[in-house]
Amino acid sequence: MLNKVQIQKMKTLLLILVLCLPLAGCFEEPTATVSYGAISYIDEPIVSIIINGEGGILGVNPHAGGAGGMCCVVIPEHWHPGLKATIKWQMDGTWLKDSQGKLVIRNGKNVLVQGPWKQKIVDIPEYKEADTVAINFFPHDDVKVLVTKWGPGSPNYPYPVPDPNHCWDGIENMCKGK
């Protein structure tokens, strides 16, 4: 059985908890809702991209940019060290073929084999203001994310304009015979 002092201490602790609960929201990191887009430096189409569980359908052709104004993802208003993003993307599918290489048709339609989903957790480099999230896809499932108001072709963008005549491995041209 609790004595009066213990009961009073429990009441005080409960009161403190109740009074502090509304303040919990004050310590949340301010966020911004921004658009996103993707730039491909690879030879295969990407049919869907998800950033930190948000976003969705965004088609990106090989060696091209895709829908730079897609809405929306939420990012911290201010960059901080250790900031990361989880990028999940689905590659384009292929048509199912039989053992002789002929397209398989079911119910009068070609059968699509869904492309694989891939996922990476990547660092987000420092940004000064919350702006468009640009997801850059390089060979070997190398993904780089930027928060920027610039795009390929701008001297302020660290990666070149996608070019189907170049094979990119990160920033350096690694064409090897092309």
Q: Is residue 75 part of a domain?
A: yes
> What 3-state DSSP class applies to 4?
helix
Neighbours of 56 (CB within 10 A): 9
Domain coverage including residue 73: 26-173
Confidence (pLDDT) at 159? 87
Q: Is residue 20 part of a domain?
A: no
Cα→Cα distances 152→26, 106, 159, 161, Å: 38, 43, 6, 5
How is residue 59 written in tokens?
A: 């088609």
As a whole number of angstroms, the distance between CA 108 and CA 130 comes to 49
Q: Is the pLDDT of residue 19 over 90?
A: no
Task: Report the domain count for the chain.
Answer: 1
pLDDT band for 177, please (50, 70, 90 cuts): very low
What are the φ/ψ torsions at residue 150 (nearest 5 degrees)? -100, 165
- Stated pTM of the model: 0.73
Q: Is residue 6 part of a domain?
A: no
Q: Is residue 83 part of a domain?
A: yes
As a whole number of angstroms, the distance between CA 119 and CA 136 comes to 13
Q: Of the candidates 176, 172, 152, which has an alpha carbon nearest to the alpha carbon of residue 63? A: 152
As a whole number of angstroms, the distance between CA 140 and CA 172 comes to 14
pLDDT band for 9, please (50, 70, 90 cuts): low
**What is the average pLDDT across 49-58?**
82
Q: Is residue 128 part of a domain?
A: yes
**What is the average pLDDT across 1-22?**
54
How is residue 90 written in tokens?
A: 């689905």
Q: Is residue 15 part of a domain?
A: no
- Residue 20 CB partners (closer than 8 Å, separation 6+): none
> What is the tens place of the pLDDT at every residue in 114-163?
999 999 999 999 999 999 999 999 999 999 999 999 888 889 998 888 87
